[in-house]
């Protein structure tokens, strides 16, 4: 898909004028760069400018008020910029826009702001050449503080910390200060074959571009204009009049012009169908409405990206488990063999045994003090077999995770290009959107789902981040057991228990741990570490987001997620 907005020096000149009138003196609240989406968010005192510099877009969209999540796609994009790899640029407190200008006859625009210090942005440089659009925030010394698209091009280093250098372009063209006189115009084009006059005009005359040169030349650029002579000279005179009308940079009359597709221009082009718009920014909004691919709600887009990232992390984690599984299984069997060989040395009720290794040295073997040495050894053998089985299943899970990541990556790229398959989008959206919960009033009030363990204990599973907080701090008792999958997002799980002296039976504790693993992002792993402690040792830090807590006196269980377990424990009690 080609560029929706096509910039030339004329358009950039008038865009700078319009932005200067709109932004000069305005207070800057924030500036964010989102390199992945090629998006810049400029938050002002009463509105937000969302500048899309992706090759398929190129427009500026304006939303009233500082951007806020939930206020629409554009406003949400501002709030989501950091979550999409965005970088917030440091600005002076209460910074104001000083000016917006464009380099004469160039596609480079500058926004100057109050600096207030060497580590604050003083200038934003917007490069609008071809489809390599970019923006850089510069400090007062001209060093790059942030750049939308970090790269090396044309001998320039566009990276943080480098000194900014403008693109090395062509020699300045004639007619920057005032349009070429008729004689100079004739000298530039009279001896050039009509078919090559467009290129000659663009090379030699300021403000001419591939976008406007054919309109300027009209019949003088067509083969049928014939060889130089009186008729040909008349055509050049008419072309010069059209050129002067544009290169004198008159008052703007923005319009959407109809070329091979609608685009924006600040002046009417003779011979081109168009329709007027109130301003260039209004025209960009209209083109965005025509050209922008059907958008997803920001939270759905983020859910798709989160799902892709989860798949990538899952593939890495599973691959690591594939590598480690044989060694871990062998280690468990070795400890079991040692226990069986030294049964007479294991004290009853011990929580650990120090055993002589077969090859010398001493091995410490953790034990369940409620079980005999033989039962502990059988448990180790069972864990070794499960580890071995998991290792045999893991390669296929790795392939599935990689395939899911690749499909989602391709889908997100297709959404950016605007050519995503609607059926594919719909399928994934249905997967990442949370399913509607129970409709009863009780189910809506409860922040958790309830299950019954094999031993008859109640297991409560949080429904959401806020539901996790509600469950942990308002729907549990101090002696209850609190569980959560380690180092991944997931549900808080409460195993109801009242005995402050004794821990719950291991079978019930393991089932609660499996529920925590199943309701976490590690649900597809072969083995999941689940932390547990008494609920009274879980605290909520000040200003922590929903679901974020700090548990203390934590112990860890390693469990294998079993998707069939919720069914065995019975239907959730709403």
pLDDT at 82: 33
Q: What is the pLDDT of residues 408-457, one digit of tens each?
A: 888 887 776 666 666 677 667 666 654 434 444 444 468 899 888 887 78
Query: Parallel, antiparallel, or unpaired for β 352-356 and 108-113?
Result: unpaired
Domain ranges within the chain, ordered by starting residue? 9-158, 179-247, 298-432, 441-568
CA 11 to chain centroid: 30
Mean predicted confidence (pLDDT) in 470-496: 91
CA 477 to chain centroid: 40
Output the average pLDDT for the chain: 82
Residue where the block lists tokens 């011990």: 350
Longest dimension (CA), the chain: 118
Q: Is 100 helix (H, G, I), strand (E, B) or coil?
A: strand
> Structure pTM?
0.53
pLDDT at 509: 94
At 77, is the pLDDT very low, low, confident or very high (cuts 50, 70, 90)?
very low
Fold entry, domain 9-158? ibrinogen binding protein from staphylococcus aureus fold (2.30.310)
**CA–CA gap between residue 189 and residue 236 (Å, rounded):** 8
Fold entry, domain 298-432? Helix Hairpins (1.10.287)
At 481, is the pLDDT very low, low, confident or very high (cuts 50, 70, 90)?
very high
**CA–CA gap between residue 232 and residue 226 (Å, rounded):** 7
Bridge partners, 451 (sequence order): 459
**CA–CA gap between residue 74 and residue 511 (Å, rounded):** 45
End-to-end CA distance of the chain: 51
pLDDT at 418: 61
Mean predicted confidence (pLDDT) in 139-159: 87
| Ramachandran angles phi, psi of 440, nearest 5° | -70, 155
Q: What is the pLDDT of residues 39-68, one digit of tens each?
A: 888 888 888 888 888 877 888 988 765 543
Q: What is the pLDDT of residues 353-387, one digit of tens each?
A: 888 888 778 888 888 888 888 888 888 888 888 87
């Amino acid at each position: 898909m080609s560029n929706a907005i096509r910039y030339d020096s004329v358009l950039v000149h008038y865009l700078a004028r319009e932005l200067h009138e709109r932004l000069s003196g305005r207070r800057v609240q924030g500036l964010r760069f989102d390199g992945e989406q090629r998006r810049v968010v400029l938050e002002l005192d009463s509105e937000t400018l969302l500048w899309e510099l992706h090759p398929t877009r190129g427009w500026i969209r304006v939303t009233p008020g500082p951007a806020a999540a939930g206020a629409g796609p554009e406003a949400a994009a501002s709030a989501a910029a950091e979550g999409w790899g965005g970088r917030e640029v440091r600005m002076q407190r209460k910074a104001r826009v000083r000016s917006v200008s464009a380099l004469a006859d160039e596609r480079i625009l500058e926004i100057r702001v109050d600096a207030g210090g060497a580590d604050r942005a003083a200038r934003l440089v917007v490069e609008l050449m071809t489809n390599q659009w970019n923006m850089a925030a510069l400090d007062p010394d001209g060093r790059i503080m942030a750049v939308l698209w970090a790269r090396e091009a044309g001998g320039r280093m566009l990276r943080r910390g480098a000194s900014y250098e403008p693109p090395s372009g062509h020699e300045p063209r004639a007619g920057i200060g005032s349009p070429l006189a008729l004689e100079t115009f004739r000298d530039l084009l009279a001896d050039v074959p009509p078919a090559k006059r467009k290129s000659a005009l663009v090379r030699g005359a300021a403000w001419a571009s591939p976008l406007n040169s054919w309109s300027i030349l009209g019949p003088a650029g067509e083969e049928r204009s014939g060889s130089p002579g009186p008729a040909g000279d008349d055509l050049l005179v008419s072309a010069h009049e059209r050129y002067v009308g544009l290169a004198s940079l008159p008052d703007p009359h923005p319009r959407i012009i109809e070329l091979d597709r609608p685009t924006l221009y600040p002046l009417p082009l003779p011979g081109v169908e168009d329709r007027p718009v109130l301003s260039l920014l209004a025209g960009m909004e209209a083109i965005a409405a025509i050209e922008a691919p059907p958008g997803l709600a920001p939270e759905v887009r983020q859910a798709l990206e989160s799902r892709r990232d989860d798949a990538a992390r899952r593939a890495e984690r599973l691959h690591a488990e594939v590598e480690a599984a044989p060694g871990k299984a062998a280690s468990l069997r070795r400890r079991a063999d040692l226990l069986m060989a030294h049964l007479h040395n294991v004290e009853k009720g011990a929580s650990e045994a120090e055993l002589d290794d077969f090859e010398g040295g001493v091995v410490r073997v953790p034990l369940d003090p409620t079980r005999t040495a033989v039962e502990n050894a059988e448990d180790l053998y069972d864990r070794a077999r499960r580890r071995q089985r998991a290792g045999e299943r893991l390669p296929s899970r790795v392939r599935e995770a990689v395939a899911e990541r690749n499909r989602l990556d391709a889908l997100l790229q297709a959404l950016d290009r605007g050519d995503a398959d609607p059926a594919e989008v719909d399928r994934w959206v249905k997967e990442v959107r949370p399913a509607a919960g129970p409709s009863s009033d009780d189910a809506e009030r409860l922040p958790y789902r309830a299950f019954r363990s094999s031993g008859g204990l109640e297991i409560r599973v949080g429904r959401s981040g806020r539901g996790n907080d509600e469950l942990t701090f308002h729907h549990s008792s101090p002696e209850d057991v609190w569980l959560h999958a380690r180092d991944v997002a997931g549900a808080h799980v409460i195993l109801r228990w009242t005995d402050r002296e004794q821990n719950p039976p291991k079978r019930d504790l393991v089932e609660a741990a499996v529920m925590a693993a199943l309701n976490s992002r590690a649900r597809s792993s072969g083995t999941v570490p689940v932390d547990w402690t008494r609920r009274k040792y879980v605290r909520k830090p000040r200003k922590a987001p929903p679901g974020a807590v700090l548990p203390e006196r934590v112990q860890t269980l390693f469990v294998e997620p079993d998707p069939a377990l919720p069914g065995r424990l019975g239907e959730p009690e709403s």
